[in-house]
Amino acid sequence: MKNKLQQFIQFLKEAYIELQKVSWLTKKEVFASTLVVIVFILIVAVYVGLVDFILGWVIGIFLGGRR
């Protein structure tokens, strides 16, 4: 049990050392990246919504349902 605890503590120490090497983004970069992702998601959502609506309408015509 003690060996497992020592391994876990060693893992935490190594993880902390590696985290200090990370090049973190600035707040401005995070904000810009987040904005790009949100805009992209909105564009994809509109595209998928339009395709769904159009295909539903076309299939409805072929099946004699709504027009």
- Does 43 fall in a domain? yes
Region 52-63 average pLDDT? 92
CA distance linking residue 55 with residue 48, whole number of Å: 10
Task: Determine the pLDDT at residue 44.
Answer: 98
- Does 3 fall in a domain? no
Region 23-37 average pLDDT? 96
- Does 42 fall in a domain? yes
CA distance linking residue 41 with residue 36, whole number of Å: 9
CA distance linking residue 27 with residue 34, whole number of Å: 10
Task: Determine the pLDDT at residue 65.
Answer: 65
Among the residues of the chain, which ranges form H helices?
Answer: 2-20, 27-62
- Does 18 fall in a domain? no
Q: pTM of the predicted model, to two decimals? A: 0.63
- Does 48 fall in a domain? yes
The token pair at 15 is: 């993880």
Domain count, the chain: 1
Residue 66 reports pLDDT greater than 70: no
